Amino acid sequence: MHEIKFKVNGEEKTASVESRLLLVHLIRENLSMTGTHIGCDTSSCGACTVLIDGKSAKSCTILAVQINGKDITTVEGLATAEGLHPLQEGFKENHALQCGFCTPGVMLRAVELLEKNPNPTEEEIRWGISGNLCRCTGYNNIVKAIQYAGAKMRGAELPSTEPEFV
Amino acid sequence: MIKCKTSKEIGGMGHSIKRKEDARFIQGKGNYVDDIKLPGMLYMDIVRSPYAYAKILNIDASKALEIPGVVAVVTGKDLEKYNLHWMPTLMSDTQMVLPTDTVMYQAQEVAAVIATSRYIARDGKEAVMVEYEPMKPLINAHKALDADAPLMRPDKEGQTNNHIWHWEAGDKEATDKVFADADVVVKEHMYIPRIHVASIETCGCVASYDKVDNHLTMYMTTQAPHAIRTVIALVAGHVGLTEEKIRVISPDIGGGFGGKVPVYPGYVIAIAVSFLTGSPIKWIEDRSENLQADSFARDYHIDVEMAGTKDGKIQATRFKVLADHGYTDASANPSKFPTGLFSIGTGSYDYGTAFMEADAVYTNKPPGGVAYRCSFRVTEAVHAIERITDIFAKEVNKDPAQLRFENFIKKEDFPWKSPTGWEYDSGDYHAGLQKAMDAIEYDALRKEQVEKRAEGKLMGIGISTFTEIVGAGPSKDFDILGIKMFDSAEIRVHPTGKAIARFGTKSQGQGHETTYAQIIAEELGIPSAHIQIEEGDTDTAPYGLGTYASRSTPTAGAAAAVAARKLRDKARKIAAYLMEVSEEDLEWEPGKFSVKGAPEKSKTIQEIVFAAYTNHPPGMEAGFEATHYYDPPNLTFPSGAYICVVDIDNETFEIKVRRFVAIDDCGNIINPMIVQGQVHGGLTQGIAPAMYEELIYDEDGNILNGTFMDYLVPTAVESPSWETGHTITPSPHHPIGAKGVGESPTVGAPPAIANAIVDALSVYGIQHMDIPITPYKIWKKLKEMGKI
């Protein structure tokens, strides 16, 4: 067993873990934070995406021992006392989720995407989230949601959230 | 613009209300089955067969049982003691829970390991030693009926070959005659490959049996909790687990698409182990297990023919299907429809003669035949008719759009009797196709195509104008295991005018918590924001057959409207009493009754509801609640006109979908934002089988792409930017004129894409390519043809 010390959503944590324990299981089972999901066993779907020191990572592919001393952000840490994160708002306003299972992972991936590129094009967003699978939305509205969040974070005018279903 | 009868505050039909359910999902507060943790819970993992067909000689669990934390290893022999080693399928076939002697497909469940943690269960699984004697499997469905084919189901009395059932629809003699006399006959063989829904959440459960109360609570990923409760009672009733002792809870579901309708062996093993140990048992599949063992969709080999005149009038169609069901028929069709609603395959065209037949066979592949966002075989049928229509257009030298216009059923001819016996309720196919052509600028595209071809470039335009058939179904024909396919709604309005409504369906992302509230708001004028929707708990919700096959709005949505109307009738009586006028003197507008000619004299629905609890008329039952079980008089027939433009690289044959316009007609629209979202998602599940997805088996029955590394679910990069729109032809028999939409895009998109690709490749003389159409397949075909 290994003693590790880390932060989750700003809170100091310690845990005693087996060498083989995956980060996603540390988060879901040991910490009982179930917003991070598991959708595959080959690192393909991105449902388990979290931020490690601000960089998006698939938590099914990282051992818990590797996060010793690091700072993790999960979906539970996106909203603040002031309210929802712009991505959370963007996803809701633009109907960018249906079953909601992939959503936390896509949003966390998009946090890093917008950090690096505050005003991404549609193509940049599509490539940027290509490590995250969504089976429900067809991605159109996820693209819109990320553009909406980008605009909000830049202080730019918010794009319309009306569906173009004419 | 969609006209709304209610204000934005009331939020009835037609408003793009943001979804109520989103608040929990975007904050990581959804409650999916793997999020459930119970005290003393044990974990189950499943040992699976590496062979497609083998005798089990021995299962040695001793090493596994030595691992600290491994509690038990369960085999078929253990379940046999309780007669729980076999279970019925929804099609009245039988399926092994765990085998006692033979495995019938690769990845079949062989034994279950129960342990104190997920990791120890996996250690235990690795330590179980199974000795097999492999046999030569039957993989090719075309060889299933050969004399030397191994008999798949010797366990079934009277089963002397691998034939499961034969099915027919239409008039064979009349069809043969039209074909014999026709000027033009075109034919093609099409394989609609085996695919998998691959919802991002896999399947799983927590089975929790309480030995003291003899009561089972079953949390599971199911689209049909009530039907599943009945099935569990049928399977386990003999050991004392009767239906009143079973509570099925379907929590938040991470996508279903039909894959969460069946009862999988894992669920039953978890129940059996919980029953025997008294501990809650959690079983969650891996993705690979999900892809390799859970029910597949499609796998139809179709010979389709069309007869017509030289000037392009369709006269008849003929379909012959070979259906590969794997080792058991575990489809989820209505009982009387072994091929589901395949007989919709005569399409959107006005002709009177057709014949269809299908034969199903057993093979050494996983069982199923359920769904991929369309359970009832409509996708297969639509692919065949829309492809053969294009082939016919080419044969008679007509533009495929023009040929469709000339053959469409006209809007004034509805209701229309199809040659296979359906009564299409309504449609306006001309308007839909015209709208799609205008949106994509069809004529300009055809001109561009001529120019591109002159430059040696490959560009294709494909059309699909499909008719869907959903909303199963009328009880005279539709049942599953004898249970009629009605659905239900129960509305309770509290004294302060706020409501809770419960349904027999179960959302898996469709947004029922929002849309059902809108239907009730439309009928009662109570703001949809004040109406809480609940589904998925068999202890509280009224009985219903669940959510699949685009049936929720046509059945439970209708039930909601009818139940709300019962309440409005009661409200009218109370209003008349309160205002001391007769009921006939009252006028309804959303949210209130007012006196005719004296609009200042009115009672709001909230005042009326309060009176139902505080001041109800003498002799009237107090309270404000209603329930309705809706038995649809007919199915509903949504339709759509889709046009796809592709560019194909003439060296690498990479296919780029340049544009895709989808015009859907699902009748009256409850929430345009949600309908559009359904269309987007369905289209991506349409491009998936058209260009990427297929479960591939080698001749030994090994699955070659059973993980997300190689089973290619489209990402945001493969998925085009969809362009969507609608026409509205209300269903005349549905209480709110709605038709259902979830399946439509998955049904309509593949032939539009295939037609576009074949159109691009027609310069090489190609008439047809089976989906998924990939660059490699194109290269291979052209190589074989000597074109490159």
Do residues A15 and A66 both lie within one domain? yes
- The HSE-up count of residue A6 (CA atoms within 13 Å, CB side) is 24
pLDDT in tens, B464-514: 999 999 999 999 999 998 999 999 999 999 999 999 999 999 999 999 999
Chain B residue whose CA is closest to A139: B716
User: Does residue A164 fall inside a structural domain?
Assistant: no
CB of A83 less than 8 A from some CB of B: no
The percent of residues above 70 in pLDDT, for chain B, comes to: 100
Does residue A65 sit in the same domain as residue A35? yes
Q: Would you call B715 and A132 a contact, using CB atoms and an 8 Å cutoff? A: yes
What does chain B come to in residues? 788
Name which of B25, B198, B286 is nearest A97 (Cβ-Cβ).
Answer: B25
Residue A53 in any domain: the answer is yes
Asked if residue B400 has a cis previous peptide bond (ω within 30° of 0), the answer is no
Answer whether B209's CB lies under 8 Å from B271's CB: yes
Q: Which residue has the tokens 């999900």?
A: B290
Q: Which residues of B touch A88 (CB under 8 A)?
A: 26-27
pLDDT of residue B187: 98
pLDDT grade for B605, boundaries at 50, 70 and 90: very high
Contact residues on chain A for B675, CB-CB shorter than 8 A = 165
Instruction: Tell me what the mean pLDDT of segment B745-756 comes to.
Output: 98
pLDDT at B108: 98
What chain A residue is nearest to B662 in terms of C-alpha separation? Answer: A165
In angstroms, the CA B706 to CA B78 distance is: 29
A68 and A104 housed in the same domain? no
A17: alpha, beta or left, given left = phi > 0 and alpha = psi -120 to 50?
Answer: beta
Q: Any residues with CB less than 8 A from the CB of B81 and at least 6 apart, and which?
A: none
| Closest listed residue to residue A41, CA positions, set B291, B396, B49, B308 | B291
The answer to whether position A165 is within a domain reads no
Per the CB < 8 A criterion, the answer to whether B169 and B421 are in contact is yes
Residue of B3, B15, B26, B508 to mutate, testing the A interface (most A Cβ within 10 Å of its Cβ):
B26
Q: Do A165 and B675 touch (CB under 8 A)?
A: yes
DSSP letter for each residue of B198-220 = --SS--EEEEEEETTTTEEEEEE
SS3 state of residue B308 = strand
**Considering the domain boundaries, does residue A166 fall inside one?**
no
Burial class (CB in 10 A: 0-12, 13-18, 19+), B621: exposed
Angle formed at CA B527 by CA B521 and CA B531, multiple of 5 degrees: 75
Window 118-177 of B, Cβ < 8 Å to A:
118-119
> What whole-number distance in Å separates Cα of residue B193 and Cα of residue B530?
46
**Token pair listed for B393:** 């257009």
Pairing of strands A49-52, A55-58: antiparallel
| Same domain for A69 and A106 | no
**Is the model's pLDDT at A166 over the cut of 90?**
no
B658 touches chain A (CB under 8 A): no
Specify the pLDDT at position A66.
98
Axis crossing angle, helix B429-440 with helix B442-454, rounded to the nearest 10: 50
Between CA B85 and CA B83 the distance in angstroms is: 6
**A95 assigned to some structural domain:** yes
Q: Is B14 at the interface with chain A, CB within 8 A?
A: no
In the predicted structure, residue B391 carries a pLDDT above the cut 90: yes
A 100-139: CB under 8 A from B = 100-104, 107, 122, 125-127, 129-139
Q: Residue B369 pLDDT > 90, yes or no?
A: no
Longest CA–CA span in chain A (Å) reads 59
- Using one digit for the tens of pLDDT, what is the confidence trace for B190-238? 999 999 999 999 999 999 999 999 999 999 999 999 999 998 998 888 8
Residue B489 structure tokens: 């709604």
CB–CB of B232/B241 below 8 Å? Answer: yes
Q: Where are the alpha helices (DSSP H) in B427-552?
A: 429-440, 442-454, 512-524
Q: What are phi and psi of B38, to 5 degrees?
A: -120, 150
**pLDDT at residue number B173:** 98
User: What phi and psi, each to the nearest 5 degrees, are found at residue B595?
Assistant: -80, 130
Q: What is the pLDDT of residue B619?
A: 96
Asked if B30 lies within 8 A of A100 by C-beta distance, the reply is: yes
Is B589 designated active site?
no
Catalytic annotation present for B568: no
Q: Chains A and B: how many Cβ contacts under 8 Å?
A: 203
**Domain-ending residue, one of A34, A54, A76:** A76
User: Are the C-beta atoms of residues B481 and B511 closer than 8 Å to each other?
Assistant: no
- pLDDT for B236: 85
In angstroms, rounded to a whole number, what is the distance separating the alpha carbons of residues B265 and B278? 19
Q: Which structural domain, as residue segments, surrounds residue A121?
A: 86-154
Residue in B with minimal Cα distance to A99: B509
Nearest chain B CA: its distance from A5 CA (Å): 22
One-letter amino acid identity for B625? Answer: E
| B371 pLDDT higher than 90 | no
Contact B61, B47 (CB under 8 A): no
Domain end (from A76, A99, A116): A76
Cβ pair B522, B12 in contact under 8 A: yes
Judge whether B502 counts as a catalytic residue.
no
CA dist B537 → A6, B54, B253, B438, B554 (Å): 39, 40, 13, 47, 21
Check residue A61 and report its DSSP letter: G
Q: What is the CA radius of gyration of chain B?
A: 27
A76 contacts in chain B (CB < 8 Å): 27-28
DSSP B74-120: EEHHHHHTTT-SEEE-TTS-EEESS-SSEE-STT-EEEEEEESSHHH
Give the ranges where B27-83 is alpha helix by DSSP (H): 62-66, 76-80
The closest CB to that of B509, out of A34, A125, A136, belongs to A136
For the entire predicted model, the pTM comes to 0.98
Choosing from B229, B373, B502, B659, the catalytic residue is: B373
Residue B153 CA: distances (Å) to CA of A60, B157, B162, B324, B328: 40, 9, 7, 14, 8
φ and ψ of B41, to 5 deg:
-70, 135
Rg, chain A, Cα only? 16
* A54/A93 same-domain check: no
**Which pLDDT belongs to residue B301?**
98
CA distance B494 to B606: 9
In this prediction, residue B583 carries a pLDDT of: 97
pLDDT digits (tens, 9 = 90+) for B509-551: 999 999 999 999 999 999 999 999 999 999 999 999 999 999 9
- b/e B518-552 (16+ beta carbons within 10 angstroms → b): bbbbbbbbbbbebbebebbbbeebbbbbbbbbbbb
Mean pLDDT of the region B288-301: 97
Confidence check: pLDDT of B680 > 80: yes
CA–CA separation, B442 and B454 (whole Å):
19
A74, closest residue in chain B (CA to CA):
B28
Q: What is the mean pLDDT of residues B628-634?
A: 98
Condensed to tens digits (0 to 9), the pLDDT of residues B689-743 reads 999 999 999 999 999 999 999 999 999 999 999 999 999 999 999 999 999 999 9
Pairing state between β B184-192 and B353-361: unpaired
Interface predicted TM-score (ipTM) of this complex, two decimals: 0.98
B531-535 and B655-665 beta bridge pairing: unpaired
pLDDT in tens, A95-109: 999 999 999 999 999
Q: What pLDDT is recorded for position A156?
A: 98
Q: How far apart are CA B586 and CA B156, in angstroms?
A: 65
Interatomic CA distance for residues B516 and B464, integer angstroms: 31
A122 neighbourhood in chain B, CB within 8 Å: 721
Residue reference for tokens 């359904």: B678
Taking residues A76-80, what's their average pLDDT?
97
Interchain CB distance below 8 Å, A100 and B22: yes
Q: Is A73 an interface residue toward B (CB < 8 Å)?
A: no
Residues A19 and A49 in one domain: yes
Query: Do residues B312 and B350 lie in contact, with contact meaning Cβ atoms separated by under 8 Å?
Result: no
- Given the residues B108, B223, B315, B518, the one annotated as active site: B223
Residue A159 within any structural domain of the chain: no
Q: Quick one: tokens of B48?
A: 């699976």
Please determine, for residue B370, whether its predicted confidence score (pLDDT) is greater than 90.
Answer: no
Q: What is the CATH number of the domain that holds A21?
A: 3.10.20.30
Do the Cβ atoms of A42 and B287 come within 8 Å? yes
User: Closest by alpha carbon to B328, among B356, B277, B357, B367?
Assistant: B367
Half-sphere exposure for B109 (CA within 13 Å, toward CB): 30
Token representation of residue B337: 């429809």
Does B551 participate in catalysis according to the annotation? no
Quick one: average pLDDT of B627-638? 98
Residues B191 and B250 sit within 8 Å (Cβ to Cβ) = no
Whether residues A102 and A123 fall in one domain: yes
Tally of domains within chain A: 2
Q: What is the mean pLDDT of chain B?
A: 97
- Kindly list the residues from chain A whose CB atom is less than 8 angstroms away from the CB atom of residue B14: none
Class of residue B310 by CB neighbours under 10 A (exposed 0-12, middle 13-18, buried 19+): exposed
Q: One of B203, B374, B644, B666 is an active-site residue; which one?
A: B374
Q: Tell me whether residues A135 and B198 touch, CB distance under 8 A.
A: yes
Q: Indicate whether A161 belongs to any domain.
A: no
Look up residue B763 and give its DSSP letter: G
A40, B287: Cβ pair inside 8 Å?
yes
Domain assignment of residue A162, yes or no: no
Same domain for A41 and A63, yes or no, is yes
Tally: H helices and E strands in chain B: 18, 32
Give the angle subtended at the CA of B410 by the CAs of B404 and B416, to the nearest 5°.
Answer: 110
At residue B237, the pLDDT reads 87
Residues A65 and A93 in one domain: no
In a shared domain, residues A6 and A71: yes
CA B85 from centre of chain? 28
> Does residue A129 share a domain with residue A94?
yes
Residues A70 and A99 occupy one common structural domain: no
Q: What is the pLDDT of residue B374?
A: 86
CATH code (residue A113): 1.10.150.120
Q: Does B785 touch chain A (CB under 8 A)?
A: no
Indicate the residue among A76, A95, A119 that finishes a domain. A76
